[in-house]
Amino acid sequence: QLFAREGYAGADLQELADDLLIGKGTLYRHFGSKEALFLAAADHVMTRLRAYIDASVAGLTDPLETIARAIRAYLTFFDQNPQAVELLIQERAQFKDRKRPTYFVHRESNVERWRAMYRDLIAKGRIRPLSPERISDVVGNLLYGTMFVNYIAGRRRPPEEAAQEIIDVLFYGILSETERARQGSARPARAGKGD
């Protein structure tokens, strides 16, 4: 919270050490540097996000409900933890030279389970035969963008409402049944095999 409140440059590790009732040297011995502590905080945010989503989908057997619940959990987590969004923004601003920000490192380590779910849904004919990579990229980008826009624009609507809008467009698209039938073979060319 110190980094989110004060920014990386403005964060005083002595203040953090005082809040934790430890010596400043203890922070440096454990983390080595202010940068390492900051990046550990960003990593912790992403670990907490995954645990929150995992807990929200535990026990579900329907993959579509799992996807919907995960979307709700993702937006709820960031709504309840705005300092987490601030930390991710600061990481990008402060450490532009990093090849992969923490968010994307965690996303890549977690994405295969979602792609496997999309493959299974495709095999069962429950969703269109799109590339699982394309689906996970689109869904991930939609959620990531929504999280940032909600924070930056100061939108204070319930995360459940935003999640339901995303789920509705994701699952049902924007075309009516009539328009989908009318479009038929006039659909635009697909981007790649399986898309």
Tell me which of 6-20, 41-55, 133-147 is least confident. 6-20
Question: φ, ψ for residue 189 (rounded to 5)?
Answer: -60, 145
- Whether residue 195 lies inside any domain: the answer is no
- Whether residue 175 lies inside any domain: the answer is yes
pLDDT score, position 190: 53
The pair of three-digit structure tokens given for residue 161, joined into one six-digit string: 């409402």
pLDDT score, position 31: 85
**CATH number for 28:** 1.10.357.10
Q: Give the torsion through C-alpha atoms of 162, 164, 168, 174, to 10 deg.
A: -20
Q: Break the chain down into helix, strand, coil percent, rounded to 5.
A: 75, 0, 25
| Average pLDDT score over residue span 61-87 | 96
Q: Which domain holds residue 164?
A: 2-186
73-102: string of b/e by CB count within 10 Å (b at 16+)? bbbbbbbebeebbbbbebbeebeeeeeebb
- Whether residue 192 lies inside any domain: the answer is no
Percent of the chain with pLDDT over 90: 55
- Whether residue 194 lies inside any domain: the answer is no
Contacts of 38 (CB under 8 A, 6+ apart): 3, 8, 11, 90, 91, 94
127: confidence class by pLDDT, cuts 50, 70, 90: very high
With beta carbons less than 8 A apart as the criterion, state whether 20 and 1 touch.
no
- Whether residue 72 lies inside any domain: the answer is yes
- Whether residue 191 lies inside any domain: the answer is no
Between residues 110 and 18, which one has the greater pLDDT? 110
Q: Which letter does DSSP use for residue 171 in this model?
A: H
pLDDT score, position 141: 95
Q: Of 131, 159, 177, which is closest to residue 68 (Cα–Cα)?
A: 159
Angle of CA points 25, 27, 32, to nearest 5°: 95
Tens-place pLDDT, residues 128-184: 999 999 999 999 999 999 999 999 998 778 999 999 999 999 999 998 888 888 887
The pair of three-digit structure tokens given for residue 187, joined into one six-digit string: 């659909």
| Domain total in the chain | 1
Between residues 95 and 59, which one has the greater pLDDT? 59
Is residue 47's pLDDT more than 80?
Answer: yes
| Average pLDDT score over residue span 67-73 | 98
- Whether residue 73 lies inside any domain: the answer is yes
Between residues 106 and 13, which one has the greater pLDDT? 106
The pair of three-digit structure tokens given for residue 153, joined into one six-digit string: 């624009």
- Whether residue 193 lies inside any domain: the answer is no
Is residue 194's pLDDT more than 60?
Answer: no
